[in-house]
């Protein structure tokens, strides 16, 4: 009767939690019913066998966590991935990993935390075959490692490939019909077997995610505020752009020297220039002009969306006829990866790159000479 009472207490606690979430609209009625069914299965399954009750209750005594139902959808996804592997042992691993990832993904979605499960290695059949992958991509947080644990185990296995580049680790106990998120830890060191007692309560995961997403949102807002929006250049008065340092080309250069040409007929043609100070090189101050021309081309059969073509040029200033040798001009994508570059020679009077994109896309420009560099971000 004592063990039965403990199981009943667990059931009441779970029901109270579910009802509170339903009232707060954190759960839909359909999901609530699924959770309730899992709770009843657990309660009646354990109360019918006193030995099982004792064993299972002991597990829960140090594994306080969130218990979720393993839905038919989870099983379908896990089976679909597993059946692609002809090796039974590996197929079982893929199935367990997928169920653990599904459970963590489901829990985060219930907590209104967005995930990108489709971008995770655990969702790629080739990566599943090549390694022991159970990662979940969370925007603004990184990769969470969702490691499965069998009932009765006291440790959680973490493969060496997961020791690095992870935002945290979640231990997930998999039963026949439920998955229990036992706990969370930010680091595991270089241990393949991590004691479940080392995992903090699963609520720490939510605190960690919210903390990282707040920092990411702040950083994103700061970056967004510093992005030069090229759409403002169209129809804008020159004085309106003075605060950004961009100005009419003829205020810095002879526009005849700046030879931009396109084979397509432009809808809009805007040119701007900016003075960039690259410090001292060979005992002399180096200042150059960064020149940009925007050419907007309307949508066509070949291009569904209007395209903006951007020509970037770097030209000498202060009466100099040539650029210093070794000046590097790079175009960056929205993840700061170099997609194109040009390096000046001692005989060059300019260097040039071309990029293109659709409205809303972002790119960056970097100028570097020796240890000096200049970088600016743009949004088309």
Question: Which pLDDT value is given to residue 241?
Answer: 55
- Going along the chain, which residue ranges are E strands? 66-69, 135-138, 142-149, 155-157, 168-174, 178-185, 193-195, 228-229, 268-281, 284-297, 307-316, 328-332, 338-343, 351-357, 362-369, 372-379
Longest CA–CA span in the chain (Å) reads 95
Burial zone of 272 (CB within 10 Å; 0-12 exposed, 13-18 middle, 19+ buried):
buried
Cβ 334 vs Cβ 361: under 8 Å: yes
Sheet with 168-174, side-by-side order of all strands = 66-69, 178-185, 168-174, 142-149, 135-138
CB atoms within 10 A of CB 375: 12
Cβ 297 vs Cβ 290: under 8 Å: no
Could you tell me the two tokens for 92?
Answer: 């079982």
Q: Classify 53 in phi/psi space as left (phi over 0), alpha (psi -120 to 50) or beta.
A: alpha
Question: Which pLDDT value is given to residue 253?
Answer: 82
Could you tell me the two tokens for 257?
Answer: 């020297």
Q: How far is CA 366 from CA 43, 334, 363, 373, in A?
A: 62, 13, 10, 7
How many residues are listed for the chain in this entry? 380
CB-based burial, 118-151: b 16+ in 10 Å, e otherwise = eebbbbeeeebbeebbbbbbbebbbbbbbbbbee
Cβ 258 vs Cβ 313: under 8 Å: yes
Question: Which pLDDT value is given to residue 261?
Answer: 43
Q: What are phi and psi of 372, to 5 degrees?
A: -85, 145
Mean pLDDT by groups of 10 residues along the chain of 380 residues: 45 53 49 54 44 34 72 95 95 97 93 89 93 91 93 94 91 94 92 94 85 58 64 64 74 68 53 84 77 82 77 89 92 89 93 89 91 88
Secondary structure (3-state) at 82: helix
Bridge partners, residue 183, by sequence: 171
Question: Which pLDDT value is given to residue 52?
Answer: 37
Q: What are phi and psi of 168, to 5 degrees?
A: 170, 175
* Tokens 């951007």 belong to residue: 310
Question: Which pLDDT value is given to residue 24?
Answer: 45
Question: Is the whole model's pTM more than 0.75, yes or no?
Answer: no
Question: Which pLDDT value is given to residue 257?
Answer: 63
The domain ranges of the chain are 63-219, 228-379
Question: Which pLDDT value is given to residue 279?
Answer: 74
Secondary structure (3-state) at 371: coil
With the C-alpha atoms ordered 318, 322, 324, 329, is the resulting torsion angle positive or negative? Answer: positive
């Amino acid at each position: 009767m004592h063990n039965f009472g403990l199981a009943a207490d667990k059931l009441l606690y779970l029901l109270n939690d579910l009802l509170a979430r339903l009232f707060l609209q954190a759960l839909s009625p359909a999901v609530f019913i699924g959770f309730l069914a899992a709770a009843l299965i657990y309660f009646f399954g354990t109360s019918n066998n006193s030995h099982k009750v004792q064993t299972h209750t002991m597990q829960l005594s140090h594994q306080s966590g969130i218990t979720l139902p393993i839905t038919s959808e989870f099983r379908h996804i896990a089976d679909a991935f597993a059946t692609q592997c002809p090796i039974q042992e590996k197929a079982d691993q893929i199935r367990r990993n997928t169920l653990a990832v599904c459970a963590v993904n489901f829990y985060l979605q219930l907590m209104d935390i967005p995930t990108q499960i489709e971008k995770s290695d655990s969702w790629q059949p080739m990566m599943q075959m090549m390694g022991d992958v159970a990662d979940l991509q969370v925007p603004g947080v990184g990769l969470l490692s969702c490691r499965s644990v069998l009932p009765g185990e006291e440790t959680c296995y973490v493969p060496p490939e997961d020791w690095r580049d992870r935002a945290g680790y979640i231990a997930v106990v998999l039963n026949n019909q439920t998955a229990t998120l036992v706990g969370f830890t930010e680091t595991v060191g270089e241990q393949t077997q991590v004691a479940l007692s080392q995992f903090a309560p699963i609520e720490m995961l939510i605190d960690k995610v919210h903390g990282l997403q707040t920092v990411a949102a702040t950083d994103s807002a700061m970056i967004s505020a510093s992005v030069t929006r090229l759409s403002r250049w169209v129809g804008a008065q020159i004085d309106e752009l003075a605060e950004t340092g961009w100005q009419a080309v003829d205020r810095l250069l002879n526009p005849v020297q700046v030879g931009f040409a396109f084979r397509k007929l432009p809808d809009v043609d805007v040119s701007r220039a900016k003075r960039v100070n690259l410090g001292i090189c060979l005992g002399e101050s180096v200042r150059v002009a960064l020149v940009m021309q925007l050419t907007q081309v309307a949508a066509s059969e070949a291009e569904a969306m209007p395209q903006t073509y951007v020509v970037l040029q770097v030209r000498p200033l202060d009466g100099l006829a040539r650029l210093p040798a070794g000046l590097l001009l790079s175009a960056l994508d929205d993840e700061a990866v170099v997609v194109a570059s040009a390096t000046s020679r001692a005989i060059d009077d300019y260097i040039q790159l071309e990029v293109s994109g659709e409205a809303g896309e972002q790119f960056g420009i970097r100028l570097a000479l020796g240890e000096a560099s200049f970088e600016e971000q743009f949004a088309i």
